[in-house]
């Protein structure tokens, strides 16, 4: 099904099942521990051996020799694999750091060997016996030191970085700010470690793994091992979180596959937790500069956003400036994205790459600007709303209700009660403050396919390589199929995550829900036509309701329709070339936060959080809410505690476990309220929905930061906002 124009009314608009609060269909499995994750697939392959990965002990250099003798002689060991035995495995197009093979060490804890044994305990002990001789080389591990060497990254196709004349407009603006902000590296820190069981059978590789993007994974495995598509299968039905960290096949898949070949048995392994942070990818640290110029009335006339991040050679920058060309109306905009080379582990996508750190800075700057203008920050943002793409004013937003997000949020949160003067509200030892920020994230269109079967028992079976990483894909796909086919939710069976199924959008960039359900919708429409064809019905006025096909006075149950054999339809959604360029599809949020800061110790407690989201039609308010509260939680972490601490001498992330890399715990998170505007966006897809899972994090950290400022009167521009940064300036009770 090609989508080339805003969607007319369709089966989804019935909203009998789609759009209704629906608890997860996989809920009973997940709450009882019955949903099998990658490392737990005892049933899929007999005789599984255990692998344990050895990570490089240096950040940069060469491996001169690896002595595996002791490891191989250790109890229970059945095989070893050394990076020196292979050339570097070819990488997929979106990765930078070598995953395995060769003598070159590009980053700390790079996988350099694996030991396979009969048991996990044996493999782990033997891995400690691997002796490695390194030649260290000099590296650059400090973004601050490297920043001056950063070079501008050329715009991607269609990316607009400037409009008007920023320098003159800024120079002439009545009110200006020019500020620098820093954000640290972040780790996905998903709860399920990267894990894989790999098995070879007759030259065909199967991996049971934990991966967000099955299609990409299969492509990259084919490339790495020189296999044809029919020689690789990936199965990933349950994924214990990804947040971008499992967009790509990682070293666990590569070395499990190699090890399984070497020992001639299925091999299972997981990245042990202390290895994950340096072995895998992370969100890059940034150094950002924002300049805003406005008229005295508050109208922004000039805005510039520069960002520097670091990565390995040939890596990608953190695109922290991308929202700045679209979020607020300004006739003069200039953004610059620069990258410096640092020899830390690979920087790559993490939940809302670009916008998440970009808005951490931009939305503090907006708060600072509002203050300087003497405007309420909500009012200031409303004044500068735009309904068109500022870099191309004849291009409109498909739907943009940012102002309504802000107004609704302000009203619901009791924003009018915010102390206008910072550090002016006290409750005993606590300083109380409120902050808000805008959220922005684009909606991306990606092709997505599915296969839908009408089984002889009348059940609808949906198969697609789409993944459910906690996003609720199982449930919204079932809702989509049930709605379209006119059956009950319980009459739909959804099977996901298998690369033998049609290729979906996958889970990333908040494009999963909207595109994968659209693909399922397309396949269902095709199935409808096959059913009608078999029944000899005229398709024009047929309806699918209550498990029946109805044409005029004739009515046949779905079950009856397939008495002679089941029907199978495969189709997907694709988007006409240039369609996305016709209108800007984005999602918006208003985030509101109240904090209490201990005036003695500087400890911050978040007391309330509210998000008002404009993200098209909400397919399932329960799972969508969960995506947003989860993202708000991650945003709270980014605001107050999350930071990959770099040892700039030895070149690694020091706090490389879950005790060192602190993420929010229960006690950090208060009641969270989420309001969806639920505005249908026919431009997006037949589902008229948009992404929401990343929108939820965009702006949250800045809202917290602004609340801390409002509480304390101390402005911190360097995340995370930990007490050591403002203690000295924190007003004590008199």
State which of positions 688-727 bind other proteins (CB under 8 A): 720, 722-724, 727
Q: Which of 7, 23, 18, 11 is nearest to 485 (CA)?
A: 11
> Cβ of residue 626: shortest distance to ligand FES, in angstroms?
9
Is residue 241 within the footprint of ligand FES (CB under 6 A)? yes
Q: In what order do the strands lie in the sheet with 548-551?
A: 542-545, 548-551, 554-557
> Cβ of residue 182: shortest distance to other proteins, in angstroms?
16
Q: Which of 558, 525, 559, 640 is nearest to 593 (CA)?
A: 640
- In 10 A of CB 543, how many CB atoms? 14
In sequence order, what are the residues at sequence separation of 6 or more whose Cβ sits closer than 8 angstroms to the Cβ of residue 508?
A: 212, 213, 244, 247, 349
Please state, in angstroms and rounded to a whole number, the distance separating the CA atoms of residues 575 and 583: 13
Is residue 658 within the footprint of other proteins (CB under 8 A)? yes
Please choose which of ligand FES, other proteins, none residue 447 contacts, taking the beta carbon within 5 to 8 angstroms, the exact cut-off set by kind. Answer: none
> Cβ of residue 273: shortest distance to ligand FES, in angstroms?
8
Minimal CB distance residue for ligand FES: 191
> Cβ of residue 624: shortest distance to other proteins, in angstroms?
10
Binding-residue pattern over the window 191 to 220 for ligand FES, x denoting contact by CB under 6 A: x-----------------------------
Binding-residue pattern over the window 440 to 479 for ligand FES, x denoting contact by CB under 6 A: ------------------------------x---------
533 catalytic residue (yes or no): no
Please state, in angstroms and rounded to a whole number, the distance separating the CA atoms of residues 342 and 182: 16
Is residue 28 within the footprint of other proteins (CB under 8 A)? yes
Please state, in angstroms and rounded to a whole number, the distance separating the CA atoms of residues 383 and 406: 11
Distances (CA, A) of 500 to 23, 210, 455, 682: 28, 16, 19, 31
Six token digits for residue 486: 């006119």
Catalytic residue among 318, 399, 673, 694: 694
Which C-beta is closer to other proteins: that of 223 or that of 395? Answer: 223
State which of positions 396-435 bind other proteins (CB under 8 A): 429
Which C-beta is closer to ligand FES: that of 53 or that of 259? Answer: 53
Contact between 391 and 160 (Cβ < 8 Å): yes
Which C-beta is closer to ligand FES: that of 241 or that of 660? Answer: 241
Please choose which of ligand FES, other proteins, none residue 723 contacts, taking the beta carbon within 5 to 8 angstroms, the exact cut-off set by kind. Answer: other proteins
State which of positions 661-680 bind other proteins (CB under 8 A): 662-672
> Cβ of residue 663: shortest distance to ligand FES, in angstroms?
10
> Cβ of residue 521: shortest distance to other proteins, in angstroms?
24
State which of positions 274-313 bind other proteins (CB under 8 A): 274
- In 10 A of CB 173, how many CB atoms? 21
Which C-beta is closer to ligand FES: that of 151 or that of 191? Answer: 191
Contact between 729 and 602 (Cβ < 8 Å): no
Please state, in angstroms and rounded to a whole number, the distance separating the CA atoms of residues 676 and 678: 5
Is residue 34 within the footprint of other proteins (CB under 8 A)? yes
Three-state SS for 380-394 is HHHHCCCCECCCCCC
> Cβ of residue 627: shortest distance to ligand FES, in angstroms?
11
Please state, in angstroms and rounded to a whole number, the distance separating the CA atoms of residues 311 and 318: 9
Contact between 425 and 433 (Cβ < 8 Å): yes
Is residue 118 within the footprint of other proteins (CB under 8 A)? yes
Q: What is the size of the binding site for ligand FES (CB under 6 A)?
A: 3
Contact with other proteins (CB under 8 A): which of 3, 166, 200, 216?
200
Please choose which of other proteins, ligand FES, none residue 353 contacts, taking the beta carbon within 5 to 8 angstroms, the exact cut-off set by kind. Answer: none
Residue 445 CA to chain centroid, in angstroms?
A: 15
In sequence order, what are the residues at sequence separation of 6 or more whose Cβ sits closer than 8 angstroms to the Cβ of residue 82?
A: 66, 68, 112, 113
Contact between 611 and 624 (Cβ < 8 Å): no
Binding-residue pattern over the window 158 to 197 for ligand FES, x denoting contact by CB under 6 A: ---------------------------------x------
Using CB under 6 A as the criterion, which residues of the chain lie in contact with ligand FES when the complex forms?
191, 241, 470
- Active-site residue set: 694
């Amino acid at each position: 099904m090609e989508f080339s124009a805003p969607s007319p009314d369709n089966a989804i608009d019935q909203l009998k099942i789609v759009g209704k609060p629906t608890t997860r269909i996989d809920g009973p499995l997940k709450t009882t521990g019955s949903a099998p994750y990658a490392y737990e697939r005892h049933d899929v392959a007999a005789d599984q051996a255990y692998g344990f990965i050895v990570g490089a002990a240096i950040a940069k250099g060469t491996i001169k020799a690896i002595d595996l003798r002791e490891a191989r002689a250790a109890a229970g060991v059945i095989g070893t694999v050394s990076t020196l035995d292979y050339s570097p495995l070819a990488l997929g197009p979106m990765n930078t750091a070598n995953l395995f093979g060769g003598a070159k060490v590009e980053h700390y804890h790079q996988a350099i060997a694996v030991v396979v044994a009969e048991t996990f305990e044996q493999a782990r002990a033997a891995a400690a016996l691997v002796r490695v001789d390194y030649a260290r080389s000099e590296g650059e591990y400090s973004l601050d030191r490297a920043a001056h060497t950063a070079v501008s990254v050329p715009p991607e196709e269609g990316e607009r970085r400037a409009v008007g004349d920023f320098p003159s407009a800024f120079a002439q603006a009545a009110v200006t700010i020019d500020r620098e902000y820093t954000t640290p590296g972040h780790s996905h820190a998903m709860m399920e470690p990267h894990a894989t069981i790999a098995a070879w059978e007759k030259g065909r590789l199967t991996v049971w793994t934990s991966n967000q993007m099955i299609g990409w994974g299969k492509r990259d495995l084919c490339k790495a091992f020189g296999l044809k598509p029919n020689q690789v299968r990936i199965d990933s039905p349950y994924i214990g979180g990804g947040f971008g960290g499992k967009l790509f096949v990682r070293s666990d898949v590569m070395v499990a596959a190699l090890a399984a070949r070497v020992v001639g048995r299925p091999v299972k392994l997981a990245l042990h937790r202390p290895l994950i942070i340096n072995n895998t990818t992370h969100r890059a640290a940034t150094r950002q500069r924002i300049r805003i110029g406005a008229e005295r009335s508050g109208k922004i006339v000039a805005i510039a956003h520069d960002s520097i991040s670091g990565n390995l050679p040939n890596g990608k920058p953190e695109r922290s400036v991308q929202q700045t060309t679209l979020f607020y109306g300004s006739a003069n905009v200039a953004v610059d994205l620069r990258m410096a080379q640092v020899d830390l582990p690979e920087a790559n996508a993490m939940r809302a790459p670009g916008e998440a750190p970009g808005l951490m800075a931009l939305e503090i700057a907006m708060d600072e600007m509002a203050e300087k203008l003497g405007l309420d920050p909500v009012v200031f943002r409303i004044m500068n709303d735009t309904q068109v793409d500022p870099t191309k004013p004849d291009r409109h937003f498909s739907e943009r209700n940012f102002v309504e997000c802000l107004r609704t949020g302000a009203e619901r949160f009791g924003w009018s009660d915010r102390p206008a003067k910072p550090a002016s509200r006290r409750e005993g030892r606590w300083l109380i403050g409120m902050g808000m920020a805008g959220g922005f994230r684009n909606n991306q269109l990606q092709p997505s396919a599915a296969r839908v079967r009408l089984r002889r028992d009348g059940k609808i079976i949906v198969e697609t390589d789409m993944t459910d990483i906690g996003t609720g894909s199982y449930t919204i796909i079932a809702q989509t199929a049930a709605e379209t086919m006119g059956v009950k939710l319980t009459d739909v069976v959804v099977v996901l995550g298998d690369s033998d199924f049609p290729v979906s959008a996958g889970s990333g960039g908040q494009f999963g829900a909207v595109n994968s359900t659209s693909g399922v919708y397309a396949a269902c429409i095709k199935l409808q036509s096959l059913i009608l064809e078999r029944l000899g019905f005229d398709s024009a006025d047929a309806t699918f309701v209550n498990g029946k096909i109805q044409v005029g006075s004739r009515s046949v149950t779905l079950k009856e329709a397939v008495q002679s054999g089941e029907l199978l339809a495969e189709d997907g959604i694709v988007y006409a070339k240039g369609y996305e360029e016709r209108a800007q599809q984005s999602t918006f949020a208003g985030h509101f936060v109240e904090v209490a800061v201990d005036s003695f110790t500087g400890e911050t407690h978040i007391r309330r959080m509210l998000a008002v989201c404009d993200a098209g039609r909400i397919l399932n308010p329960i799972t969508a809410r969960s995506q947003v509260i989860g993202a708000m939680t991650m945003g709270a972490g980014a605001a107050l505690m999350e930071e990959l601490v770099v040892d700039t001498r030895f070149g690694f992330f020091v706090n490389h476990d879950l005790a060192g890399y602190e993420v929010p715990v229960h006690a950090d998170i208060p009641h969270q309220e989420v309001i969806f505007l639920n505005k249908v966006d026919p431009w997006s897809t037949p589902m008229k929905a948009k992404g929401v899972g990343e929108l939820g994090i965009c702006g949250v950290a800045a809202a917290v930061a602004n609340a801390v400022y409002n509480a304390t009167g101390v402005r911190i521009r360097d995340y995370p906002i930990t007490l050591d940064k403002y203690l000295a300036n924190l007003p004590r009770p008199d």
